[in-house]
Amino acid sequence: MTIQETTREGTGARPAGRPRSEKAEKAIIEATLDLIAEGMGVSELSIEAIASKAGVGKTTIYRRWSNKEDLVVDALATLRAPLPPLTGESARDDLITLLDVMRKESGQARGRCVMNVAMSEADRHPRLMERFMKRSVEPRKQAMRQTLERGVTTGELRADLDLDIATAMLTGTMLHHTKWAPAGDLPVDLAERVVDAVMTGIAARD
């Protein structure tokens, strides 16, 4: 998702004013991510520090984001790849596509570091984390649920499938690997292996 798309979604109230500089916005987003990656927690993070690292004035940031939380949510969202196109022809294939996004993201060491630091402060910043989950995590969960529902409808998956449990089995297994495996060490067929292992329990039976 681009920064401009972020603005259109209205996640951070940004008042109208002089034309926005895409270069400045990118510098601010990158500075925010760099500071978090260097170990600065969300609580320590300040608009002053971000402005200094980005080489812009504080007013440039406040012209685009009304507060630090809005900026951090936008910055974290840039680390998440957009939902991939799904064919809708096979639940198995679409589940593999969805899970493989997680594998690819885990190979980005900087992104992993930033998310680990940010999520470690979830209890201290519940509003920020709630907004991030709604913005970046819920759409993926919904896409997976719809894929599973479609699989049940077409007869590819069991009619009595517990969608929540199936979702947890798929994403939980991938999270185990993406969180604990060394960056770059995940096999390229991991998503396929996870889906096929879970399918032994959730696929329709003759």
pLDDT of residue 113: 85
Confidence category of residue 5, pLDDT binned at 50, 70, 90: very low
Find out whether 78 and 3 touch, Cβ atoms under 8 Å: yes
Q: Report pTM.
A: 0.79
| Percentage, residues of the chain above pLDDT 90 | 65
Contacts of 140 (CB under 8 A, 6+ apart): 83, 98, 101
Domains of the chain in sequence order: 3-77 (1.10.357.10), 91-202 (1.10.357.10)
Q: What are the Cα distances from residue 111, in Å, to 95, 102, 193?
A: 23, 12, 24
Residue 67: is its pLDDT beyond 50?
yes
Amino acid letter for position 180: W
| 3-class secondary-structure state, position 38 | coil
**pLDDT of 120-170, one tens digit each?**
888 888 988 999 999 999 999 999 999 999 999 999 999 999 999 999 999
- Closest of 125, 103, 131, 98 to residue 42, by C-alpha: 125
- Closest of 66, 43, 67, 70 to residue 125, by C-alpha: 43
Rounded Cα–Cα distance for residues 50 and 68 (Å): 10
